[in-house]
């Protein structure tokens, strides 16, 4: 059955949708014992990656290679949501908990799809301007009767799991700065761990621990130092300071935001956190003269009670490419050279697959898992990359692999302790970098100092993806399924010898985990970027997915994104064996109905408009004014929009819809130049289409 969410999620605050909730809400506590039980019991899914180890492996096997062809849609919910869906739902005691765009939360009966309650934190839509990569949210956390969500405007909110009513709220960021939260909180030892994003806009990274019951701040770890004219907040920063140039401009923030992955080993009592890129990207601007710039692009191991650092490993020293180490951190036991090793694994943006001893941080192996040209290899003696000549693009513009989107981004990978393989949503995209050290001026937009914020096109022929089954011991591919495009969804692996993945072309698919044979496929009618999850409810195994095209790979658009042919149709999809519900047929998208006219404008205005569009608009509306199927493709905007151009762009007329005012950055003349360039791109596209 298909259910409409309609006005429910448009309401402020919370709403109960069913008196039947009381019967479904006799919840046992989610605590350390419950989390440890997940290692062998696949009934529930209690954390973003199911367990603290972040394997995304489920012991459930009712749905397996023999029965998966009988898998069908049992219910779905049409969501009032036009931005990307990245969340993984959590399942506890008959209820699914998930988040939507703009940090909204809902609880749903896991068997019927009935909405039990919803909560809207009422994030000011103007905050979307500070979000590098869509107004997305990757999920919630559960602990002792509460649901926790981080909001785009930097709040951490605890909700009553039965009613959705707020219990406490903490503002975790300085709202005068362009911080955002899109990642899922993690809870352990009665503390909620949360980081933030915003490095592209010039912030200083940190992550924090809050008391799960009261919201009191327990500790905070800054990932980069501050101006040495002030004392550092904790001792680890004094050591880090030595790796930054004496000429560092500390007003640029430094970056290092911890915007996604965290894992926990309860036996070692170590919390693992991945940190992000520098701010700005180009080290020559950020830290003139060099330096590793700790703790950018690093894996950190800390004591969770105190937040004190035990060890660190820097994945990309002196990052200049947006090569974050925020990608999934997975804990596992591997047999290496005949010895059982407790390891932590990561496939970060930079294209190398890392295996480390998780007790000590010792690098055990690191090899390329895709196309990598920025570095030749990882030197096992030093643990450092051997960089290619001019990898830092100091002399001329450089095209290299991977791009800032990474060989692997936030899309979840999974590990099977049965096959001993890691299933990676791999992508192959080149990046273009230009040294702007002599001309960089900080602005309220992407501050890369690497020219990457001004990319003019993303051609289809330069992008690809794959579902990659990687052997972390042999450090080689076991099998690989090619994808025609990048930005495919995260993966789930089960004891039924199945790997599930959604695609940017709109399919949810199941493969045999050992051989990579396609066994099942479902048309989701929208690009899938989130990862599926699975749970056991009333004796039946279900597979659930948040389906909704979006995120940075979709927003930046270009011909590559358009090639998928998908658009945002946000739904929650749930499957079980023997079900056969159907999705409704999609209505066609209307065009502008306009026949473009040649644009009368000076060449200098069109050139200026192209540059300004690339700096301020492309990150949401698509490079080259080619929308990616999420936000409006401005080539096809209505005459009314163009007539109200200044009111929208400079004065915030559409701010309630997420289109913030750019009046603090653009003049009326510059806004006009952007409009003229968009009109020229519409005319060019129309001419090219007519020729074809």
Q: Give the model's pLDDT for residue 82.
A: 85
Query: Going by C-beta distance under 8 Å and a sequence separation of 6 or more, which residues neighbour residue 537?
Result: 91, 94, 110, 111
In a domain, 116, yes or no: yes
- Tell me, yes or no, whether 340 and 277 share the same domain: yes
- For the ranges 221-225, 583-587, 669-673, the one whose mean pLDDT is highest: 221-225
Check residue 628 and report its DSSP letter. Answer: -
Residue of 394, 402, 395, 446 whose CA lies nearest to 426 = 402
Query: CB count, 10 Å around CB of 338?
Result: 5
In a domain, 543, yes or no: yes
Residue 692 has pLDDT above 70, yes or no: no
Which is it for the CA torsion 58, 61, 64, 68, positive or negative? negative
In a domain, 596, yes or no: no
| SS3 call for 331 | strand
The one catalytic residue in 153, 322, 605, 633 is 322
Query: CB count, 10 Å around CB of 665?
Result: 16
Q: Give the model's pLDDT for residue 17.
A: 39
Q: Where is the domain boundary, 577, 592, 621?
A: 577
Using a CB cutoff of 8 Å and minimum separation of 24, what contacts does 370-375 make?
370/401, 370/402, 370/407, 370/426, 370/428, 370/468, 371/401, 371/402, 371/407, 371/428, 372/401, 372/402, 372/407, 373/400, 373/401, 374/321, 374/350, 374/400, 374/401, 374/402, 375/350
Residue of 658, 626, 690 whose CA lies nearest to 82 = 658
The CATH number for 18's domain is 2.140.10.10
Cα separation, 199 vs 370, in Å, equals 26
Residue 6 has pLDDT above 50, yes or no: no
Cα separation, 401 vs 424, in Å, equals 17
Residue 26 has pLDDT above 70, yes or no: no
Question: What does the pLDDT look like over 365-390, one tens digit per residue?
Answer: 999 999 999 999 999 999 999 999 99
Cα separation, 368 vs 351, in Å, equals 6
Residue 80 has pLDDT above 80, yes or no: yes
Which is it for the CA torsion 508, 409, 626, 481, positive or negative? negative
Alpha helices in 411-455 (DSSP H): none
Cα separation, 103 vs 99, in Å, equals 6
Q: How far is CA 141 from CA 153, 208, 243, 288, 648, in A?
A: 18, 15, 35, 40, 37
| Count of structural domains within the chain | 2
Question: What does the pLDDT look like over 596-623, one tens digit per residue?
Answer: 888 999 999 999 998 899 888 888 888 8
Average pLDDT over residues 26-45: 90
Q: In the chain, what percentage of residues exceed pLDDT 70?
A: 93
In a domain, 588, yes or no: no
Q: Where is the domain boundary, 542, 577, 612?
A: 577
Q: Give the model's pLDDT for residue 5.
A: 47
Cα separation, 167 vs 146, in Å, equals 8
- Tell me, yes or no, whether 572 and 652 share the same domain: no
- Tell me, yes or no, whether 145 and 95 share the same domain: yes
In a domain, 594, yes or no: no
- Tell me, yes or no, whether 569 and 609 share the same domain: no
Q: Where is the domain boundary, 518, 542, 577?
A: 577
- Estimate the crossing angle of helix 603-616 against helix 668-691, to 10 degrees: 100
Q: Give the model's pLDDT for residue 563.
A: 65
The secondary structure of 381-414 as a DSSP string is TTTEEEEPTTTT-SSS-EEESS-TT-SS-SSPPE
Mean pLDDT of all residues in the chain? 92
Residue 594 has pLDDT above 90, yes or no: no
Beta strands in 604-653 (DSSP E): none
User: Which domain, by its residues, includes 639?
Assistant: 603-691
Residue 239 exposure: Cα atoms within 13 Å on the Cβ side: 9
Q: Give the model's pLDDT for residue 561.
A: 61
Check residue 178 and report its DSSP letter. Answer: -
Length of the chain: 692
Cα separation, 366 vs 385, in Å, equals 10
Q: Give the model's pLDDT for residue 11.
A: 31
Q: How far is CA 506 from CA 51, 523, 527, 568, in A?
A: 28, 6, 4, 10
CB 622 within 8 A of CB 558: yes
Residue 13 has pLDDT above 50, yes or no: no
- Tell me, yes or no, whether 205 and 280 share the same domain: yes
- Tell me, yes or no, whether 205 and 335 share the same domain: yes
| SS3 call for 231 | coil
| SS3 call for 68 | helix
Tell me whether residue 322 is one of the annotated catalytic residues. yes
- Tell me, yes or no, whether 552 and 613 share the same domain: no
In a domain, 582, yes or no: no
- Tell me, yes or no, whether 71 and 115 share the same domain: yes
Q: Please tell me which residue, 463 or 122, carries the higher pLDDT value.
A: 122
Task: Identify the burial level of 640 via C-beta atoms within 10 angstroms of its C-beta, where 0-12 means exposed, 13-18 middle and 19 or more buried.
Answer: exposed
In a domain, 491, yes or no: yes
Cα separation, 282 vs 525, in Å, equals 39
- Tell me, yes or no, whether 258 and 361 share the same domain: yes
Cα separation, 114 vs 170, in Å, equals 30
Check residue 561 and report its DSSP letter. Answer: H
Q: Strands 57-58, 491-494: parallel, antiparallel or unpaired by DSSP? A: parallel
Cα separation, 330 vs 438, in Å, equals 41
- Tell me, yes or no, whether 520 and 637 share the same domain: no
Question: What does the pLDDT look like over 646-664, one tens digit per residue?
Answer: 999 999 899 888 898 999 8
**CA 319 remoteness from chain centre:** 19
Residue 220's beta-bridge partner residues?
A: 208
Check residue 312 and report its DSSP letter. Answer: E
- Tell me, yes or no, whether 611 and 469 share the same domain: no
Cα separation, 214 vs 665, in Å, equals 40
CB 314 within 8 A of CB 298: yes
Residue of 260, 422, 257 whose CA lies nearest to 355 = 422
- Tell me, yes or no, whether 235 and 179 share the same domain: yes
Q: Give the model's pLDDT for residue 18.
A: 36
| SS3 call for 169 | strand
Instruction: Using pLDDT thresholds of 50, 70 and 90, give the confidence band for residue 23.
Output: very low
Average pLDDT over residues 258-282: 98
Average pLDDT over residues 166-182: 97
Q: How far is CA 57 from CA 43, 145, 292, 484, in A?
A: 12, 25, 35, 26
The CATH number for 663's domain is 1.10.760.10
Query: Going by C-beta distance under 8 Å and a sequence separation of 6 or more, which residues neighbour residue 539?
Result: none
Q: Give the model's pLDDT for residue 658.
A: 86
Cα separation, 57 vs 513, in Å, equals 11
Question: What does the pLDDT look like over 112-129, one tens digit per residue?
Answer: 999 999 999 999 999 988
Q: Which of 74-78, 86-90, 121-125, 455-459 has the lowest mean pLDDT?
A: 455-459
In a domain, 391, yes or no: yes
Cα separation, 218 vs 88, in Å, equals 27
| SS3 call for 322 | coil
């Amino acid at each position: 059955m298909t259910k409409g969410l309609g006005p429910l999620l448009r309401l402020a605050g919370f709403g109960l949708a069913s008196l039947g909730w009381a019967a479904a809400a006799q919840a046992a506590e989610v605590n350390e014992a419950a989390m440890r039980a997940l290692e062998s019991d696949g009934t529930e899914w209690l954390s973003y990656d199911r367990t603290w180890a972040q394997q995304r492996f489920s012991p459930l096997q009712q749905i397996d290679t023999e029965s998966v062809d009988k898998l069908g849609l049992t219910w779905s919910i049409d969501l009032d949501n036009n931005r990307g869906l990245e969340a993984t739902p959590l399942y506890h005691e008959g209820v699914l908990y998930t988040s939507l765009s703009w940090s909204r939360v809902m609880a749903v009966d896991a068997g019927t799809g009935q909405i039990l309650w919803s909560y809207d934190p009422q994030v000011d839509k103007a905050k979307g301007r500070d979000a590098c990569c869509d107004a997305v949210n990757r999920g919630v956390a559960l602990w002792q009767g509460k649901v926790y969500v981080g909001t785009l405007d930097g709040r951490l909110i605890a909700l009553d799991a039965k009613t959705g009513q707020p219990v406490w709220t903490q503002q975790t960021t300085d709202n005068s700065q362009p911080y955002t939260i899109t990642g899922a909180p993690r809870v352990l030892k009665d503390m909620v761990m949360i980081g933030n994003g915003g490095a592209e806009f010039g912030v200083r990274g940190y992550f924090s621990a809050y008391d799960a019951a009261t919201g009191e701040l327990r500790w905070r770890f800054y990932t980069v130092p501050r101006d040495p004219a002030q004392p550092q907040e904790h001792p680890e920063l004094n050591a880090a300071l030595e790796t930054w140039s004496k000429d560092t401009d500390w007003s640029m923030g430094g970056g290092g935001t911890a915007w996604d992955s965290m894992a926990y080993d309860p036996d070692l009592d170590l919390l693992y956190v991945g940190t992000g890129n520098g701010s700005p990207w180009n080290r020559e601007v950020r830290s003139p003269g060099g330096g590793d710039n700790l703790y950018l692009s690093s894996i950190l191991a800390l004591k969770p009670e105190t937040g004190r650092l035990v060890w660190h490993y820097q994945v990309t020293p002196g990052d200049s490419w947006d090569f974050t180490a925020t990608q999934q951190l997975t804990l596992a036991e591997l047999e290496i050279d005949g010895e059982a090793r407790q390891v932590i694994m990561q496939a970060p943006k930079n294209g190398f697959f890392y295996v480390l001893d998780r007790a000590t941080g010792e690098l055990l192996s690191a090899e390329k898992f895709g196309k990598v040209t920025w570095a030749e290899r990882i030197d096992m003696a030093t643990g450092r990359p051997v960089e290619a000549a001019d990898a830092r693009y100091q002399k001329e513009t450089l095209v290299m692999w991977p791009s800032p989107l990474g060989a692997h981004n936030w899309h979840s990978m999974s590990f099977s302790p049965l096959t001993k393989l890691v299933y990676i949503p791999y992508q192959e995209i080149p990046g273009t970098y230009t040294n702007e050290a002599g001309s960089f001026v900080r602005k309220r937009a992407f501050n890369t100092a690497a020219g990457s914020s001004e990319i003019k096109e993303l051609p289809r022929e330069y992008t690809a993806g794959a579902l990659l089954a990687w052997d972390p011991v042999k450090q080689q591919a076991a099998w690989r399924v090619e994808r025609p495009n990048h930005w495919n969804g995260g993966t789930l692996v089960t004891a039924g010898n199945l790997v599930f993945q959604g695609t940017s072309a709109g399919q949810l698919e199941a493969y045999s985990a050992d051989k990579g044979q396609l066994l099942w496929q479902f048309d989701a009618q929208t690009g899938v970027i989130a990862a599926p999850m699975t749970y056991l409810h009333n004796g039946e195994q279900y597979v659930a997915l948040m389906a909704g095209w979006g995120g940075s790979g979709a927003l930046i658009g270009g011909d590559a994104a358009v090639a998928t042919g998908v658009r945002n149709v946000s739904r929650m999809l749930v499957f079980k064996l023997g079900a056969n519900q159907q999705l409704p047929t999609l209505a066609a998208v209307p065009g502008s109905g306009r026949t473009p006219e040649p644009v009368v404008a000076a060449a200098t205005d069109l050139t200026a408009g192209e540059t300004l569009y690339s700096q301020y608009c492309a990150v949401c509306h698509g490079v080259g004014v080619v929308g990616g199927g999420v936000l409006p493709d401005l080539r096809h905007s209505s005459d009314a929009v163009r007539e109200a151009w200044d009111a929208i762009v400079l004065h915030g007329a559409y701010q309630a819809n997420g289109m913030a005012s750019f009046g603090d950055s653009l003049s009326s003349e510059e806004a006009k130049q952007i409009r003229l360039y968009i009109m020229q791109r519409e005319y060019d596209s129309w001419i090219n289409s007519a020729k074809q």
